[in-house]
């Protein structure tokens, strides 16, 4: 492991746009070592005044929808506008080995070599929603490093996509056409959260099916009540292969920013996300402290076999465990 820098060195490196230091700072804030937590906190507090200026875009969709390919083309379009983009690509962690493939830089080879782009793959570990444990902190670091567009790619596992919605400004749902009954292929809750739906792979023989799917989704969205942002989610088709629909999507994102900033939703949303972040962290800290408690560890050893064989009700065991803490 590389020796940790001091807080000033991390801060200066990040604010100076040094990608090596940025990567090391992200590694620091992702660390589970107790010794790293005070330093990580100091770095985040140092860079905080320089954050908040990016467009935060969350992208989700079922596996196979082509998220990585789409993001590579989208990233190329954004950088062609002379804007810097950071992609926080999250790889699912194996529940057996606890390992991750971390292959997003391979799947986005062209974007990975773009001087205006930065790709950071991170393991999802046990975090719900297909996002990494420290994605919010990573967003702040990338903003402080000067990235104007931050893309958070989820693994698309359908586990509480509210998590990524609660850390981004614009939530994009990617869908496929021609894969059966499209409207049965996605949960209503995710559709209600989407700020736009893009039907991907709208090329070749799939163009007609994609247009039909877009119409079906648009009609379905009209049945949902307004979400309070003053924004009604559009549906479009796009093709990463033909690079069509990407410019239209960027115009939609810009329009969404304009509308939500004018009506005040943008600021309220960011403020509510900060509160959600605080409460989420409180829950995480409490859970960590609970399982690190020596009395709890000893008690769990004595009770787990009884719960496993069914002689003790799991609910009662949980209540007693909380009393032990």
Question: What are 114-128's pLDDT values in tens digits?
Answer: 999 999 987 655 544
Same-domain check for residues 182 and 246: yes
pLDDT of residue 128: 46
Same-domain check for residues 258 and 309: no
More confident residue, 186 or 97: 186
- Per-residue confidence band for 185, with pLDDT thresholds at 50, 70 and 90: very low
Q: Per-residue pLDDT averaged across 101-122, rounded?
A: 79
- pLDDT higher than 80, residue 179: no
Task: Please report whether residue 268 resides in a domain.
Answer: no
Task: Please report whether residue 1 resides in a domain.
Answer: yes
pLDDT of residue 79: 98
Task: Please report whether residue 173 resides in a domain.
Answer: yes
Task: Write down the number of H helices and E strands in the chain.
Answer: 14, 7
Q: Return phi, psi of residue 202, to 5°.
A: -85, 70
d(CA 294, CA 113): 48
- Per-residue confidence band for 89, with pLDDT thresholds at 50, 70 and 90: confident
d(CA 59, CA 153): 5
Same-domain check for residues 57 and 17: no
291 C-beta neighbours (distance < 10 Å), count: 11
Tell me which residue range forms the domain holding 69.
52-262
Asked whether the beta carbons of 266 and 235 are under 8 A apart, the reply is no
Asked whether the beta carbons of 144 and 47 are under 8 A apart, the reply is yes
pLDDT of residue 95: 40
Nearby residues of 299 by Cβ (< 8 Å), 6 or more positions away? 320, 321, 324
pLDDT of residue 258: 97
pLDDT of residue 187: 60
Q: Based on the structure, what is the number of domains in the chain?
A: 3
- Which among 15-19, 158-162, 222-226 has the top mean pLDDT? 15-19
pLDDT of residue 124: 54
pLDDT of residue 1: 63
pLDDT of residue 198: 95
Same-domain check for residues 46 and 108: no
Same-domain check for residues 30 and 58: no
- pLDDT higher than 50, residue 203: yes
The per-residue b/e assignment along 251-264, b for 16 or more CB within 10 angstroms, e otherwise, is ebbeebeeebeeee
Nearest to 25 by CA among 53, 51, 6, 50: 6
Q: Per-residue pLDDT averaged across 22-30, rounded?
A: 95
pTM over 0.85: yes
8 C-beta neighbours (distance < 10 Å), count: 11
Q: Per-residue pLDDT averaged across 246-250, rounded?
A: 97
Same-domain check for residues 10 and 152: no
More confident residue, 261 or 161: 261
- Per-residue confidence band for 97, with pLDDT thresholds at 50, 70 and 90: very low
Same-domain check for residues 23 and 72: no
Nearest to 130 by CA among 97, 169, 104: 104
Same-domain check for residues 92 and 211: yes
Task: Please report whether residue 267 resides in a domain.
Answer: no
pLDDT of residue 92: 53
Same-domain check for residues 76 and 109: yes
Q: What is the pLDDT of residues 140-160, one digit of tens each?
A: 999 999 999 999 988 665 554
d(CA 44, CA 46): 5
Same-domain check for residues 27 and 44: yes
Tell me the percentage of the chain whose pLDDT exceeds 70.
86
d(CA 144, CA 70): 26
Q: What is the mean pLDDT of the chain?
A: 87
- pLDDT higher than 70, residue 96: no
| Helix ranges, the chain (H) | 7-15, 19-30, 37-47, 67-80, 104-107, 109-112, 135-144, 162-165, 188-193, 207-221, 246-262, 265-292, 294-308, 314-324
Same-domain check for residues 3 and 135: no
Asked whether the beta carbons of 60 and 154 are under 8 A apart, the reply is yes
- pLDDT higher than 60, residue 63: yes
Which residue shows structure tokens 């493939």?
101
Same-domain check for residues 131 and 191: yes
- pLDDT higher than 90, residue 98: no
């Amino acid at each position: 492991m590389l020796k940790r820098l001091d807080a000033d060195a991390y801060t200066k490196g990040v604010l100076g746009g040094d990608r090596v230091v940025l990567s090391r700072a992200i590694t620091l804030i992702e660390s589970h070592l107790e010794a790293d937590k005070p330093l990580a906190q100091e770095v985040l507090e140092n860079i905080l005044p320089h954050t908040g200026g990016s467009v935060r875009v969350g992208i989700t969709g079922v596996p196979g929808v082509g998220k990585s390919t789409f993001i590579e083309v989208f990233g190329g379009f954004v950088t062609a506008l002379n804007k810097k983009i950071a992609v926080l690509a999250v790889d699912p962690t194996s529940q057996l080995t606890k390992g991750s493939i971390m292959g997003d830089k391979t799947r986005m080879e062209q974007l990975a070599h773009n001087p205006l782009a930065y790709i950071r793959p991170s393991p999802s570990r046990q975090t719900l929603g297909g996002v990494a444990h420290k994605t919010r902190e990573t967003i702040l670091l990338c903003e402080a490093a000067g990235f104007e567009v931050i893309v958070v790619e989820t693994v698309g596992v359908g586990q509480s996509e509210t998590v990524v919605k609660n850390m981004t400004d614009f939530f994009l749902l990617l869908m496929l056409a021609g894969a059966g009954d499209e409207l049965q292929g996605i949960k209503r809750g995710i559709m209600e959260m989407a700020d736009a739906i893009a039907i991907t792979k709208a090329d070749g023989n799939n163009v007609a099916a994609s247009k039909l799917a877009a119409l079906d989704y648009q009609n379905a969205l009209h049945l949902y009540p307004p979400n309070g942002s003053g924004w009604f989610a559009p549906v479009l088709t796009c093709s990463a292969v033909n690079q069509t629909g990407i410019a239209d999507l960027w115009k939609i994102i810009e329009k969404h920013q304009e509308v939500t900033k004018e009506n005040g939703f943008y600021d309220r949303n960011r403020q509510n996300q900060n509160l959600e972040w605080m409460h989420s962290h409180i829950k995480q800290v409490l859970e960590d402290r609970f399982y690190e408690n020596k009395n709890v560890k000893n008690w769990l050893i004595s009770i787990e076999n009884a719960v496993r064989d069914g002689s003790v009700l799991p609910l009662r065991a949980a209540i007693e465990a909380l009393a032990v803490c």
